[in-house]
Amino acid sequence: MAKVVLRKVRKEFGSSVVVHDIDLTIPHQEFVVLVGPSGCGKSTTLRMIAGLEDISAGEIHIGDTLVNDMPPKDRNIAMVFQSYALYPYATVWENMAFGLRVRRYPQAEIRRRVEAAADILGIRDMLDRKPRQLSGGQRQRVAIGRAIVRDPEVFLFDEPLSNLDAKLRVQMRTEIKKIHQRVATTMIYVTHDQVEAMTLAQRIVVMNAGRIEQIGTPQDMYERPATRFVAGFIGSPAMNFVPCSISDGGAELGVRIGESLVLPVPAGRRDRYRAYSGRSMLLGIRPEHCFDAKTHQPAAGQAPFEIVAGVVEPLGIDTMVHFELAATPVCARVNSYAVSSEGERLAMVMDMNNMHLIDPQTDKVV
């Protein structure tokens, strides 16, 4: 049983603080993903949990043990890195058994564990090969196998799929999810790729500049981002942000964009947004919440508007169309047959039930 708890964990390199007093509790057996742009402190946080990096302040607990001063080898964790770091002249079997040999496990136990891990990973018939006789995905499997045989309380992954090509990355993503189901261990996974985070995580921790922006399920992050950063980081193509103001027409409330466009605020949000009327705000709306009116009759809370299509990008399943709202570039995901070329006028619908209102003074979603 190992939950992992970080209390006010801080990391300074010289005079610069790269992790700012973060608090995080990861329950036993949870798959949590730390995601954020390069340099935001993900690897440093993971390395502090592993004990590969000292912490400048705070506490880290693994299970019921305060591990601040415990060396990595005593923490009962296993880490998988982006570079597989396999021994090139050793076989797959030897690579996986090495850590157990060093710890003087009996031969029969080593065999049992290596074979069980090889079965989980589907590499049983490759145990006699050398790493150079394996594909990138198979090598990464061996690196994961080396972690599994240790039977750790916590798995730490640092961008383990970043060296693989796009197709293999998607395959291994599914594999890693299966592995979590089969070995049922606490897993902390670091990536800069928000799609990887969304697909793998039970809970996502979005980091930005050494701080935690938001913690929640993938669905929370998508539907209820707390900040402009999370709103723009999660989801692809990214959310559109359009300068606007809230116009108060008594019972009605509207999102005013530029001179002529006013989109009504859905009834359920009026009380929440009224306090911001008259102020400069940002409307956040995802491309998939702007439809074409030909295939989508407006329903309750959905507002019609008109555009002149800019660049049109057919994706097969649907089409991305770029346009401007009061000189701000916006992108919408429309039906494949809704628009064919630049310059066409197009009747659109914005699903205001999925709008976000951001206060640019705080960058918080209100």
Decide whether 116 or 209 has the Cβ nearer to Mg ion: 209
Helix (H) or strand (E) holding 168: helix 166-183
Cβ(169)–Cβ(161) below 8 Å? yes
Q: Select the residue interacting with Mg ion from 19, 43, 215, 355 (CB under 5 A).
A: 43
**Does residue 72 have a cis bond before it (omega within 30 degrees)?**
no
Shortest approach of ligand ADP to residue 212 CB, angstroms?
A: 12
Decide whether 111 or 192 has the Cβ nearer to ligand ADP: 192
Q: Does 138 bind Mg ion (CB under 5 A)?
A: no
Shortest approach of ligand ADP to residue 313 CB, angstroms?
A: 30
Decide whether 36 or 218 has the Cβ nearer to ligand ADP: 36
Q: Which does 194 bind (CB under 5 to 8 A by kind): Mg ion, ligand ADP, none?
A: none
Decide whether 16 or 361 has the Cβ nearer to Mg ion: 16
Q: Which does 41 bind (CB under 5 to 8 A by kind): Mg ion, ligand ADP, none?
A: ligand ADP
Shortest approach of Mg ion to residue 42 CB, angstroms?
A: 5
Q: Which does 181 bind (CB under 5 to 8 A by kind): ligand ADP, Mg ion, none?
A: none
Decide whether 43 or 95 has the Cβ nearer to ligand ADP: 43
Distance CA 112, CA 185 (A): 19
Shortest approach of Mg ion to residue 359 CB, angstroms?
A: 31
Decide whether 162 or 277 has the Cβ nearer to ligand ADP: 162
Pick the stretch among 38-46, 179-187, 200-208, 323-331 that binds Mg ion (CB under 5 A): 38-46
Cβ(354)–Cβ(278) below 8 Å? no
Shortest approach of ligand ADP to residue 16 CB, angstroms?
A: 7
Q: Which residue ranges make up the site for ligand ADP (CB under 6 A)?
A: 13, 18, 36, 38-44
Max intra-chain CA distance, the chain:
79
Q: How many residues does this entry show for the chain?
A: 366
The CA distances from residue 15 to 5, 18, 57, 59, in Å, are 26, 10, 14, 21
| Closest to 147 measured CA to CA, from 97, 191, 108, 101 | 97
CB contact set of 329 (below 8 Å; sequence gap of 6+): 240, 310, 322, 323
| Closest to 115 measured CA to CA, from 127, 104, 103 | 127
- The amino acid present at 166, given as its one-letter code, is A
Distance CA 42, CA 59 (A): 17
- The amino acid present at 226, given as its one-letter code, is A
Decide whether 15 or 361 has the Cβ nearer to ligand ADP: 15
Shortest approach of ligand ADP to residue 83 CB, angstroms?
A: 14
Shortest approach of ligand ADP to residue 6 CB, angstroms?
A: 14
Q: Which does 140 bind (CB under 5 to 8 A by kind): ligand ADP, Mg ion, none?
A: none
- Compute the Cα dihedral for 37, 43, 45, 46 and give only its sign: positive
Q: Which residues bind Mg ion (CB under 5 A)?
A: 43
